Chain A
């Protein structure tokens, strides 16, 4: 009994302390060093945060370069699929153009009427998008990890990015800034499990929390009233009750899936975002 225990201790000690030709550090030293880094990171002191910011900036830049081949492959596969779909899409689009041409006449009439009425009432013109936008940034790396849904952008505190800012892609909310460095920032996507947005649903007077589930086609509606039944094809808007998101921004939509279940999908496609708008809390176009 004691012999086998001795063998175990000897083998373990040998594994921990042995240094070979390629092994310049013992495992014991590196394990202690790792634990120290975790503890120092948790303490969040300003010199450590500064150092972490520097490391983050450096690694993100290299990571963006390292992601180029992978992005290239994804881009090629996407483009080849797109190429095969283009003929059918063209047919459908031609039909739609005809329909839109008919509708256009109606819209022009309504637009003219609206402008004339606004002038008559002396209303101010609607603010343009640039006033709400702080930064326009490029996505450096997108994480499709099964655990974390986040993207890295190429603008940081140097350009005015602050933790908690909201991020939009193609006019739809895609996430919030959770980490800022000098030259880069990390955005937690709305699809992430840790993302919680207070929201309301179209044609109903209920408040709830829209929570990410790792999938853009499967959001969770938390804290809904017990007797409330979610209907398909309803838009979900921000309620503005969380304090930093303005009320009335469309985020998601309910739909019926193949199994006739009502699910919630994002209006934006956060993983496909390449250029994003980092804003104070609202973005209108």
Chain B
């Protein structure tokens, strides 16, 4: 029983890390079973990183974020280190926001997500543009960023509920 309890606790604590690695290995962009799924593609990594670094930094290490970024680059075929740097830029921005925020509000955190996405995507595309021959549609990136921003409150609520329940247990 004790072992089971320990495993449950370990899994609950490591959820963001496991989720991040799973998404990186699976190159998650959208729910593929849905029709027109690519239309609603969003960057789930960004949401997890932003939420956990902002609210519960003790559950998501930056080393894991770095490694997840490397895996994401390998799976997607972008230059090695691009996603890592992009995710770390998101961490830096989020960490800065956490340090300067006095009273946290969901709406304020939602809107500060816009410059965070912008900053992170800017770094991603500057690197891709300068260090590879890949071409991208900027409108796709804009759409992806928009849906990442739009879906944030839903996941904010979901992760918040999960963390509260986990703390109660």
Contacts and interface: CB of A to CB of B under 8 A. Distances in A.
Interface of A: 7, 11-12, 14-16, 18, 20-27, 30-31, 33-38, 41-42, 52, 55-56, 59-60, 62-63, 65-67, 70, 73-74, 77, 141, 143-148, 150, 178-179, 186, 193-194, 214
Contact of A23 (B26, B57, B80, B134): B57
A34 B81 contact: yes
Contacts of B95: 15, 18, 27
Interface string B64-87: 001001110011111111101100
Contacts of A59: 25, 71, 74-75
A141 B27 contact: yes
Contacts, number: 147
Contact of B81 (A26, A38, A73, A147): A38
A18 B61 CA distance: 12
Nearest to B74: A59
A12 to B, nearest CB: 6
Given A15-B99, A25-B61, A70-B26, 12 more contacts: A16-B92, A27-B62, A34-B69, A37-B70, A37-B84, A38-B79, A38-B81, A141-B27, A145-B29, A179-B77, A193-B137, A214-B137
B80 A146 contact: no
A38 B82 contact: yes
A30 B82 CA distance: 12
A186 B77 contact: yes
Contact of A146 (B41, B61, B127): B41
Contact of A77 (B33, B63, B78): B33
Given A16-B92, A146-B140, A42 B135 contact: no
B75 A23 contact: no
B14 to A, nearest CB: 11
Interface string B29-73: 110110001100100000000000000011111110010011100
B131 to A, nearest CB: 5
A186 B74 CA distance: 11
A148 B58 contact: no
B71 A30 contact: no
B107 interface: no
B26 A63 contact: yes
**B interface residue count range (under 10 / 10 to 19 / 20 to 34 / 35 or more):** 35 or more
B96 A25 contact: no
A214 B100 CA distance: 42
Contact of A194 (B63, B127, B135): B135
A41 to B, nearest CB: 4
Contacts of A65: 25
29 contacts: A12-B92, A15-B95, A15-B99, A22-B61, A23-B57, A27-B62, A27-B95, A30-B63, A30-B88, A36-B81, A38-B79, A38-B81, A38-B85, A38-B127, A38-B131, A41-B79, A59-B74, A59-B75, A62-B25, A70-B32, A141-B27, A145-B29, A146-B38, A147-B136, A147-B140, A178-B77, A179-B77, A186-B77, A193-B137
B91 interface: yes
B148 interface: no
B22 interface: yes
Contacts of B77: 143, 148, 150, 178-179, 186
A141 B75 contact: yes
A194 to B, nearest CB: 6
B35 to A, nearest CB: 10
A33 B65 CA distance: 13
B147 to A, nearest CB: 10
B120 interface: no
A193 B88 contact: no
A37 to B, nearest CB: 4
B10 to A, nearest CB: 14
Contacts of B26: 63, 66-67, 70
Contacts of B88: 27, 30-31, 34
A65 B33 CA distance: 18
Contacts of A11: 96, 99-100
Contact of B74 (A36, A38, A55, A67): A55
A194 B131 contact: no
